[in-house]
Structure 1
Amino acid sequence: MEGVDQTIPVDELAAVADAVAQQAAAHVRRRRPELFGATPGHGAPDDAAAPVSTAPDPVATKSTETDPVTLADTETERLIRALLRDARPDDEVLGEEDGGSRVVPSGVRWVVDPIDGTVNFMYGVPAYAVSVAAQVDGRSVAGVVVDVARHVTYGATLGRGAWVSEGNGVRRPLRCTSVERAELALVATGFGYDADRRRQQGRIVADLLPRVRDVRRIGAAALDLCMVASGAVDAHYEHGLSPWDWAAGGLIASEAGAIVQTPPPDSRADEGHITVAVAPGIADEFLALLDELGARDPLT
């Protein structure tokens, strides 16, 4: 773990990240049918028995009317913060819903997203995740992403590889694909909520699409990064991600062998920096392609 204070208990941080993420995912899994009703084929078998919440306004908005936050988002972040406070009371926390200082501390900082893919969560699309990462000096050293609906957990510890567990407790090593030509790459991406930025992102996709195998839009950046790690896609790029979007997933992709570029750890989404994770066999070619399209420049 070059460059990381060797007195930092990284194994402990990894264990805490996993335990906290699992408890948070269980809460999210339980709350979805309570808030929005059962979705056929979605979630646990007993979802259909859960009543729809009669509480007012289970959904609010943030940056725009299309940028939602649900009761489950705020509840889950508070749960995560409480669990982290019990396990690591002196550490700082940066979260999507309740915030925290953007200034990178000298010690351990937890970077958490209670539900990455909130729109999918609302609509019953089974692609949303809990993301929990521990950073030291702004660098992720341990991270876990739980694909909530699929009961799949991805994790990594800096310098020790990435793994996936498919609900049976067995951890299988992750490795990204061996693709060697960008024209054969399956590429994941995502879009911001601001209309002007979406126009810019749309132009980039239009220029990129004829140059690669195909493009996928899953709707949860943490899962996109884990899909690079698992080989489900060959590359992922997206503008305007916040630290909680990439802190865990970026580490997982990197530890699975991907070439990963992330924004500065104190960056804001409105600065429009790009996040990239790409299989090593096409990294140079894919990054050059993004440069050709002007895609590695920040989008305002």
Structure 2
Amino acid sequence: MAEPQLEEGAGPGPLDLRVATGPGQVQAAARVLGVAPGALATALPDPALRLLVDDLGAVALLRREWGADGHAEAVLVRRRGAWIDQPAVLAAASSWGCERVRDGRGDDVRPVPPPPDGTPQADRFLHSAALAATRVEVAVALARDAGQDTTKADGSPSLGADEAAHLAAAHALRPLGVTVLSEERSDRPVPDDQPWVVLDPLDGTGNFRAGLAPWAFSAALVQDGRPVAGLVADLSSGRRWSGAVGAGARRDGVPVQPRDAGTVVAPTAPSGSAVVVPASARRVRVTGCTAVDVCLVADGAAGAWQNLDRSGTHVHDVAGGLALLAAAGGVALGPDGAPLRLRPDTETLIRFVATGTEERARALLRELG
């Protein structure tokens, strides 16, 4: 049967475009575009590329770039039957924190619109957080080796890039109109019945200073102690996880969920101490970036994360990942076995296990307790 073809001048109605996830879709898209599959294959692993396809032969290959004015844009590099104002194209650009979409064939440009009035708060948060992550990406790159290195009270490093990241993120999140707590600022009071945002503008500062991936931007929207939406951007690779409870979690636009993997991720052990590895784990990974660690549990790359063997972790380090874990259907339990609840307090340390299922979480609590 011949491949379905859309004429280049096909109507601009909404298409059912989705992110390509496998070689079969790449090969079909290559036939539609008349190119070799190798011209599209790197869109699968590369976070800066996004291949969108539908069942009728429409194809859009997007690439994330920066314009001459320093703003991020999504460039429509190749297309067939798809246009820059397609909802899926604009949504992909928004998830990258881009401010516009440009047709690579000409001068046609469309701004990425903000969410309209009446949009659920979680969706408005994700749009603003994506913009914040992109602005932080630029800010920390320009601030590398700038300012003075200091040490915080907990022994962690503080760089000029941390302050630059905070300022960039806070400005992008301000339109949400909710209290924003940050690792880089003293806490502000939050009424019990009000949502709040907690962010770590640059998680993994030590990794960033050493040039050792990963380091990340992390933000979460919290309501009644529950992280309900989150975005984590690995600034070293470009990977992005985003999601909201009830809407699922995605990594680079592809739906993800936890699985019972044999790898356990753990935070860096205190000086002179060892990382406790559950007997059920086949391997352990220590990345030095807690926000990314919890995302690896949410997307099934790792089976569990735990910090029960140490004093704890700050809420800003884990809230973004915990929101994504909840959105993906995973579970986080405290040492007492109760579901984890977050408080607007960036000083207090929290301890928990994070896994894909409550059964697995309780098994870990018994094993590590």
- Quick check: TM above 0.5? yes
Match of residue 260 from structure 1:
332
SS of the equivalent of 2:313 reads: coil
Q: Residues 137, 8 of structure 1: CA spacing in aligned structure 2 closer, same or farther, 3 A cutoff?
A: farther
For residues 86-235 of structure 1, what are the structure 2 equivalents within 5 Å?
A: 87-88=175-176, 90-101=177-188, 103=190, 105-165=192-252, 171-179=253-261, 185-191=262-268, 199=273, 202=274, 205=276, 208-235=277-304
More helix by share: 1
**Alignment-mate amino acid for residue 136 of structure 1:** Q
Secondary structure in 1 aligned to 2:298? helix
Alignment partner, residue 131 of structure 2: 19
Alignment pair present for 1:71 and 2:143: no
The 10-residue stretch of structure 1 (113-122 or 248-257) with the greater mean CA deviation from structure 2: 248-257
Say which of 271, 275, 287 aligns to 2:352. Answer: 275
- Over 3 Å counting, the alpha-carbon distance change for 1:278 and 1:265 in structure 2 is same
For structure 1, which runs of at least 5 residues remain unmatched after alignment? 1-5, 36-52, 166-170, 180-184, 295-300
Change (3 A) 1:25 1:276: farther
Q: 1:289 to 1:97 in 2, by over 3 A?
A: same
Q: Residue type matched to 1:279 in 2?
A: G
Please state whether the residue corresponding to 2:307 is helix, strand or coil: strand
Q: Is the 8 A contact 1:237 1:276 kept in 2?
A: yes
Contact 1:154 1:164 in 2 (8 A): yes
Paired residue type of 1:233: A
Count how many residue pairs are aligned between Structure 1 and Structure 2.
Answer: 244
Q: 1:271 to 1:288 in 2, by over 3 A?
A: farther
Output the CA distance in 2 between the equivalents of 1:83 and 1:7: 18
1:293 shift after superposition? 2.7
SS class of match (1:26): helix
What value does the CA root-mean-square deviation take over the aligned residues?
2.6
Q: Residue 85 of structure 2 aligns with which residue?
A: none
Counterpart position of 2:170: 81
Q: How far apart in 2 are the matches of 1:246 and 1:122?
A: 20
Deviation for aligned residue 1:31: 3.0
Q: 1:189 to 1:104 in 2, by over 3 A?
A: farther
CA contact (8 A) 1:102 1:266 kept: no
Structure 2 residue ranges without an equivalent (≥5):
1-117, 335-339
Q: Deviations over 1:196-253 (max 9, x none)?
A: xx74xx3x71xx3544201111111110011112222111112512121121111112
The percent of aligned pairs where both chains have the same amino acid is 29
Alignment TM-score, normalising by the size of structure 2: 0.60
User: What amino acid sits opposite 1:274 in the alignment?
Assistant: R
> Could you tell me which amino acid in structure 2 is paired with residue 231 of structure 1?
G
State which drifts further: 264-273 or 10-19.
264-273
Task: Give the C-alpha shift of residue 132 in structure 1.
Answer: 1.5
The answer to whether the 8 Å contact 2:266/2:307 transfers is yes
Residues 241 and 249 of structure 2 are in contact (CA less than 8 Å); yes or no, is this contact kept in structure 1?
yes
Post-superposition Cα deviations, 1:65-105, rounded to whole Å, max 9, x if no partner, equal x41111111121122112222x12x3111100113236554
Q: Work out whether 1:290 is the aligned partner of 2:365.
A: yes
Classify 1:112/1:285 alpha carbon distance in 2 versus 1 (closer, same or farther; 3 Å). Answer: closer
Q: 1:244 to 1:102 in 2, by over 3 A?
A: farther
State the structure with more CA Rg.
2
Q: Secondary structure, in 3 states, of the residue corresponding to 1:228?
A: helix
> What secondary structure does 1:265 align onto?
coil
Partner residue of 2:319?
A: 247
Structure 1 residues 16-25 or 153-162, which shifts more?
A: 16-25
Whether the aligned pair in 1 keeps the contact of 2:181 and 2:346 (CA below 8 Å) is no
Q: Which among 131, 141, 147 is matched to residue 29 of structure 1?
A: 141
Greater relative CO (CA pairs within 8 A, separation 6+): 1
- Alpha-carbon spacing, 1:30–1:231, altered in 2? closer, same or farther (3 Å): farther
